[in-house]
Amino acid sequence: MLTPHQLAAIVGHAEASYPEEACGLIVGRVTRGVAKAGRIEPSDNVAAERRRDRFEVDPVVRFKVERALRGTDEAIIGHYHSHPDHPALPSSTDLASAFEPEFAWVIVSVQKGEARAATAHQVRPSGRVFRAIDLRLAGEARRAPSRARR
């Protein structure tokens, strides 16, 4: 679950990074199977090449976040990235990079610089495919619409 402000921050980062992929971490808690974001930690995309269709969260950002979380009840619960000029669906590259299957993957489709859709996914226990999960906004009883909101 994200707040509308957190989703807007993710969408803004995705649009500002276009035509390259944006990326970042989602920090929060998982309670009774429901992941609730406490904050978003944007990162530079440090992929060595092909940043238009690849992303890598800066290891320095990840290290700083993990260090700050020591001794707290929060954890990294997911990450986000954008798909410039592609659908908000996990790619085969995403699946090959899914080293933490418990993480939520929030993907924002950005078409010609404008966010069009935001979706959430998680790797199935088999590790061979993603499954869609609800992208809920705090304060809303229903799933967030596929059209990205700001």
Total count of domains within the chain: 1
d(CA 18, CA 14) in angstroms, rounded, equals 6
Residue 62 in 3-state DSSP?
helix
Q: Is residue 49 part of a domain?
A: yes
The reported pLDDT for the residue numbered 108 is: 98
- By residue count, the chain amounts to 150
Name the residue range of residue 90's domain. Answer: 4-133
Q: Is residue 146 part of a domain?
A: no
pLDDT in tens, 62-104: 999 999 999 999 999 999 999 999 999 999 999 999 989 889 9
Could you identify the residue written with the tokens 């920090």? 27
Facing residues of 23 across strands? Answer: 43, 81
How many helical (H) and strand (E) elements, i.e. helices and strands, does the chain have?
A: 3, 6
pLDDT in tens, 47-57: 999 999 999 99
Could you identify the residue written with the tokens 């299957």? 101
Structure tokens, 34: 């429901």
Structure tokens, 72: 């707290």
The reported pLDDT for the residue numbered 141 is: 52
